[in-house]
């Protein structure tokens, strides 16, 4: 169930759902998603579905990862990406194939520790991980070209918007029971928001969990 043929079937499904960036599709085919879930769920890793990773969190469905990456690549130059809610580390490693550096924040410490172990085993060198509060971002390494949220705040966090580069944008699912994926930029005329599509993410929660 983890063969290249199985991965290729996933890529075919992603194409059918509208993912058009061939570089993203190639990366999705190459990265071993089964390593980012518990062994008991490895046989489901290449289904286009979200999977539990513990602590009431999920590994996002492949379409969501591919779509968020595709949108991030619409930035002219991906130097630094800030990822909020890195979870298993899967979205982080996909982004790392395109960005100079990925700065990944996770509030749940055991998930972060597991993600670090996976990234070390896969010898990924351009991801920095932080046990931190996603609402606060990572000001030390700002500004960021793209900030990507893998959890849904009810409103766009001001601290994250402040950490964008002048031409950067924030991708975030926004809302409560009804969410929309929003792309937001700070312009000379103020905050510009664009609704991309409906979304369904776990809520973004402040604070740390050990």
Q: Could you tell me if 78 and 72 are in contact, meaning their C-beta atoms sit under 8 angstroms apart? A: yes
Tokens of 59: 């590994």
Phi then psi for 4, rounded to 5 degrees? -60, -35
Interatomic CA distance for residues 185 and 29, integer angstroms = 31
DSSP string of 181-196, one letter each residue: EEEEEEETTEEEEEEE
Which residues of the chain form beta strands (DSSP E)?
51-54, 57-59, 80-84, 101-106, 127-131, 144-149, 164-175, 179-187, 190-199
Interatomic CA distance for residues 112 and 132, integer angstroms = 10
Largest interatomic CA distance in the chain: 51
Active site residue 100: no
Identify the active-site residue in 60, 86, 88, 92.
60
Kind and range of the H or E run holding 114: helix 109-121
DSSP state of 61: P
Closest CA to 13 of 54, 67, 71: 67
Active-site positions? 60
């Amino acid at each position: 169930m983890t063969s290249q043929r199985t991965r290729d079937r996933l890529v075919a499904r992603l194409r059918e759902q509208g993912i058009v960036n061939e570089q993203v599709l190639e990366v999705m085919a190459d990265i071993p998603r089964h390593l980012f879930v518990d062994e008991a769920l490895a046989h489901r890793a290449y289904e286009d579905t979200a999977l539990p990773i513990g602590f009431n969190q999920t590994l996002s469905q492949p379409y969501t990862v591919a779509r968020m990456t595709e949108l991030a690549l619409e930035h002219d130059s991906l130097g630094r990406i800030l990822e909020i809610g890195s979870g298993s580390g899967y979205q982080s490693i996909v982004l790392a194939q395109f960005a100079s550096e990925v700065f990944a924040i996770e509030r749940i410490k055991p998930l972060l520790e597991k993600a670090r172990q996976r990234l070390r085993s896969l010898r990924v060198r351009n991801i920095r991980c932080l046990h931190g509060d996603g609402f606060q971002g990572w000001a030390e390494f700002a500004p960021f070209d793209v900030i990507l949220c893998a959890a849904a705040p009810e409103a766009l966090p001001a601290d994250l918007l402040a950490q964008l580069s002048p031409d950067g944008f924030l991708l975030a699912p926004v809302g409560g029971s009804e969410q929309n994926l929003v792309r937001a930029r700070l312009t000379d005329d103020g905050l510009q928001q664009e609704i991309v599509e409906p979304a369904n993410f776990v809520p973004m929660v402040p604070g740390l969990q050990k």
